[in-house]
């Protein structure tokens, strides 16, 4: 309820200031809404959002898979950790923009480069958090699983993943928000479509109505994914904690 009121107040303020300013640099909520409806009807907005969303999903999947595998290996093996840690530190400290430029120059101005650049930006964070989780795995439960001859699949599903779940949930949450922001930059710099591309070309035309329409639509989409996909998943994995003593 508080959320709704707060958002309504924000919308009201925006409308008021836009009405006072009467400037094309701050279009009213009405005109932005009209453009969202019109571009949705024409299929333009859904198309651009789908392009961006596909890149977010691909980059997320790659960063998540590699990062969880790498982080798990580093958390479980001191040897691997010792050798891989310097690489990780380098990757952690490379600015997003540098990685994006390198990818475009070395791989080319194509889809692969775009997705690799985004995934590489997210990867070190996934590794660090997963490594933390793997380090905190309870050796007592490992012994239990071994004594009762759990298969490796059963170990993974019933012993390891539930312990990693809070870490993976944290990674997904922060991952989604970091990744989609970087995807917009990647699109702005070197893609012919996607929300980032639209924002870039509207910027050169000073088309504030379009910028606001696309930005707001995409933020809303990401919030929806967070609320209706990530959070319920998190709740499900935490169900057992509900009545824990």
**Contacting residues toward other proteins, per CB under 8 A:** 140-141, 143-144, 146-150, 154, 158-159, 162, 237, 240-245
Distance from C-alpha of 208 to C-alpha of 131, rounded to nearest angstrom: 43
CB of 74 to other proteins, least distance (A): 23
CA diameter of the chain: 74
Query: Minimum CB separation from other proteins for residue 156, in Å?
Result: 13
- Angle of helix 195-204 relative to helix 208-225, nearest 10 degrees, comes to 160
Of 158 and 177, the one with the shorter C-beta distance to other proteins is: 158
Tokens of 6: 């707060």
> Least distance from C-beta 153 to other proteins, angstroms?
11
**How far apart (Å, rounded) are the C-alpha atoms in residues 5 and 15?**
15
Nearest to other proteins of 152, 240 (CB atom): 240
- Least separation in angstroms between CB 141 and other proteins: 7
Which one, 95 or 139, has the nearer CB to other proteins? 139
> What is the torsion angle, in degrees rounded to the nearest 10, for the CA atoms of residue 11, residue 51, residue 230 and residue 178?
-80
Which lies closer to other proteins via its Cβ, residue 20 or residue 244? 244
Closer residue to other proteins in complex, CB, 145/225: 145
Q: Estimate to the nearest angstrom the gap between the alpha carbon of 97 and the chain centroid.
A: 17
- Angle CA(38)–CA(53)–CA(69) in degrees, nearest 5? 170
Distance in Å, CB of 132 to other proteins, minimum = 19
Distance CA 142, CA 164 (A): 14
């Amino acid at each position: 309820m508080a959320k709704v009121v707060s958002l309504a107040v924000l919308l009201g303020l925006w409308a008021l200031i836009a009405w006072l300013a009467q400037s094309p640099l701050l279009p009213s909520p009405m005109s932005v809404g009209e453009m969202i409806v019109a571009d949705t009807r024409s299929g333009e907005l859904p198309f651009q959002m789908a392009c961006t969303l596909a890149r977010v999903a691909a980059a997320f999947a790659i960063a998540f898979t590699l990062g969880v595998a790498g982080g798990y290996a580093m958390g479980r093996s001191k040897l691997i950790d010792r050798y891989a840690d310097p690489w990780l530190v380098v990757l952690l400290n490379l600015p997003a923009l540098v990685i994006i430029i390198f990818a475009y120059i070395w791989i080319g101005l194509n889809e692969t480069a775009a997705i690799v650049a985004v995934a590489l930006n997210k990867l070190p964070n996934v590794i660090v958090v997963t490594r933390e989780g793997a380090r905190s795995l309870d050796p007592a439960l490992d012994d239990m699983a071994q004594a009762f001859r759990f298969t490796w699949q059963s170990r993974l599903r019933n012993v390891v993943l539930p312990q990693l779940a809070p870490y993976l949930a944290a990674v997904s949450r922060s991952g989604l928000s970091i990744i989609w922001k970087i995807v917009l930059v990647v699109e702005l710099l070197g893609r012919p479509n996607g929300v980032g591309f639209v924002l870039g070309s509207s910027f050169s035309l000073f088309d504030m109505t379009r910028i606001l329409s696309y930005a707001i639509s995409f933020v809303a989409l990401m919030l929806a994914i967070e609320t209706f996909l990530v959070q319920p998943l998190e709740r499900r994995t935490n169900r057992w904690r509900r009545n824990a003593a």
